[in-house]
């Protein structure tokens, strides 16, 4: 949320054009104005919660330039996280699967394109895959592999079972 806050601050000081992010953050915190927002966040009177991301995505989809910048930045950061993990595991040149999991990816291409671009520059053999099931599936597969079971072979069954349980 720090980058979104920076964009609001830039609009407030007239460094950049007005943005709908201002209203989103004011509404989310109950702050009276930008000064109250900045002071309240600095002094922990206000909190920003991850669900604000939904509103930022909507603003980006509606063409707000600052919101688009925030979502692009978030996509790049997600890409860098995947790259960092691959580097730590010394898998930069391997055919790795990057699993896109979570509601943030419902934003579509505005977040996945910047993520994909940065990943493909550094992990040329990576495959980005959208998880078609609850995030717990990954943990189940990893756990099964830890005890020597080839869970990858039955991944589709695990996903379908998890979906049925999650209903």
pLDDT in tens, 36-95: 999 999 999 999 988 899 999 999 999 999 999 999 999 999 999 999 999 999 999 999
Segments in the chain forming alpha helices (H): 2-12, 20-29, 34-42, 52-61, 65-88, 109-122, 136-146, 155-166
**What is the Cα 135 distance to its own chain's centre?**
14
Same domain? 139 vs 122:
no
What CATH number should be reported for the domain holding residue 65? 3.30.420.40
Same domain? 118 vs 141:
no
Q: How many domains does the chain have?
A: 2
Same domain? 113 vs 32:
yes
9: confidence class by pLDDT, cuts 50, 70, 90: very high
Same domain? 115 vs 139:
no
Given a cut of 90, whether residue 115 has pLDDT beyond it is yes
Given this model, what pLDDT does residue 75 score? 96
Given this model, what pLDDT does residue 97 score? 87
DSSP state letters, 103-121: GGGGGTHHHHHHHHHHHHH
Same domain? 96 vs 164:
no
Which range marks the domain in which residue 161 is found? Answer: 133-167
Cα–Cα dist 28/37, whole Å? 10
């Amino acid at each position: 949320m720090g980058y979104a806050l920076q964009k609001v601050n830039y609009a407030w000081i007239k460094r950049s054009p007005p943005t709908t992010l201002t209203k989103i953050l004011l509404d989310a915190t109950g702050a009276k104005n930008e000064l109250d927002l900045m002071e309240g966040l600095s002094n922990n009177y206000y909190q920003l919660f991850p669900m604000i991301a939904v509103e930022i995505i909507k603003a980006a989809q509606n063409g707000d330039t600052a919101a688009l910048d925030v979502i692009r930045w978030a996509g790049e950061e997600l890409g860098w996280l995947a790259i960092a993990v691959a580097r730590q595991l010394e898998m930069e040149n391997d055919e790795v699967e990057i699993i896109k999991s979570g509601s943030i990816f419902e934003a579509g291409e505005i977040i996945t394109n910047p993520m994909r671009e940065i990943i493909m520059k550094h992990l040329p053999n990576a495959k980005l895959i959208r998880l078609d099931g609850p995030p717990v599936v990954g943990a189940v597969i990893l756990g099964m592999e830890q005890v020597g079971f080839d869970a990858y072979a039955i991944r589709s069954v695990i996903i379908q079972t998890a979906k049925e349980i999650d209903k």
